[in-house]
Amino acid sequence: MAPPLPLVAAAAAVAARRASPACFLLGRFKNPSVACAASIATTGEAAAAAAAAAAASPALAEEAIAPSSRGGSSSSVSSASPPGSGRSSSSASSSSTSSSVPSIFSARAKYAPHCVPWLRNSKLRANLEKYCDVRDVYEGDLSTVKVATLRAGLSGADGGGSGAASPAQQSSPSPGGGLSLSPSPSSSPARVVVKSFDKAKLLRRPDLQAKVKLEWEIHSALDHENVVRAFLASESDRHVGLFMEFAGDSDAYSYMAAKKRLALREDDARALVWDVLQALEHLHHGHGVVHRDIKSENVFRCAASGCWKLGDFGSALRLGDARTMARQPLKLEGTFSFAPPEYVAIWDRFTRAELLDATSFRLDTWSLGALAYDVLCGRAPFALRDDMPRAEEAEAILRAAPAFPSGLSYAAVGFMKQALEKDPQKRPTVRQLAAHPWFAG
């Protein structure tokens, strides 16, 4: 079913609201019915090209796939880089055979531990449009995004959650050459988001290859009710595809727009912020991962459970020692209006050492405060008007105190003031924010 027109219009408005010269947005006009988004960097040269992505998680299973496997992508890119970096504008596609086309992941499918059973069938993935209702959501120069719904009779209910496949649940070819699928349990969703990258273009951009591989490595290891789940990475001669959970019908910004409201009621906003806090607790303390792009467009409402889920892990990094950081493509990424002062201060020009020094878990706590302000007040905290010059907004982020409208509770204002502390050393952690009195009310 096509998404409501107000949601599509709202998604277009998002791009205008968030755009800035330092944030090149590829695919910002995302369809709000896609309940996940992922970003990859589009700038940067030698340093990122030389960095190899970390090896895939040992917990991931592998299976050979057909060369014609297809996918789709949502690429919501926000990154800045030092002067002199370039962007690829090539649009050529690969026509090589499977024996001559280099691999990005491997010649196999990589499954997250919680991959839904029906995605484990390689024949189904290679003929996605035959066995699924596939809706195109976005098509860009580098990537596409689709929503694929397994047709009735091939799966059980389209519910939330997921589970690992057992042999009895896996699908298999029928004797007549068709596809026979065992009924999926109600916990196995029949609808997924498929994000696909043009492989020929990735092969010409080692930095982008590293970003896609890092996104999969980080995202596939996460398993939390408030995180959009990754299911599968597959590769063919022409595409690299990432399959993810379809979490609901809208992101937080589009959800408000569809209801013709600038902001959420405080109780609803508190529930949203709490869910994102739980997701960040899982990232920071469970996996050592900083998200770096927290905003209302990356938080998705699950219609089945009513909870909110954090998505878009294309800007995420695993923090650690110098060796850990050297193995990852490091770029300045995020969305300007939600970025903390330590990133805004170096937004247009920086050294690697400056970027490393500015990158910490405290990036996410600032952006969480900006998210709370956005859903409570209807705008980012320092974006005072739509036509505000970036230099003026930067000055406000660096030096001004946020203004709070009347009608908000004392606890809500106190929470935002703490999260929007300009000094990252004084800014609270996610665990400290979770103990704030606002969540006791």
Residue positions annotated with a catalytic role: 293
Beta-carbon contacts of 17 under 8 Å, excluding residues fewer than 6 positions away, are 383, 386
H or E element, residue 369? helix 362-377
Cβ–Cβ under 8 Å, residues 231 and 244? yes
Q: Using CA atoms, how far apart are residues 364 and 36, in angstroms rounded to an integer?
A: 18
Q: Using CA atoms, how far apart are residues 345 and 358, in angstroms rounded to an integer?
A: 10
Amino acid of residue 300 = F
10 Å CB burial of residue 177 (0-12, 13-18, 19+) is exposed
Q: Using CA atoms, how far apart are residues 125 and 234, in angstroms rounded to an integer?
A: 9
H or E element, residue 414? helix 410-419
- Cα 133 to Cα 127, 149, 189, distances in angstroms: 11, 5, 14
Upper half-sphere CA count for residue 409 (Cβ side, 13 Å): 14
Q: Using CA atoms, how far apart are residues 346 and 333, in angstroms rounded to an integer?
A: 11
DSSP assignment of 195-249 equals EEEEHHHHHT-HHHHHHHHHHHHHHHH---TTBPPEEEEEE-SSEEEEEEE---S
* R_g of the chain computed on alpha carbons: 21
Phi and psi, residue 62, nearest 5° = -135, 150
Q: Using CA atoms, how far apart are residues 400 and 383, in angstroms rounded to an integer?
A: 12
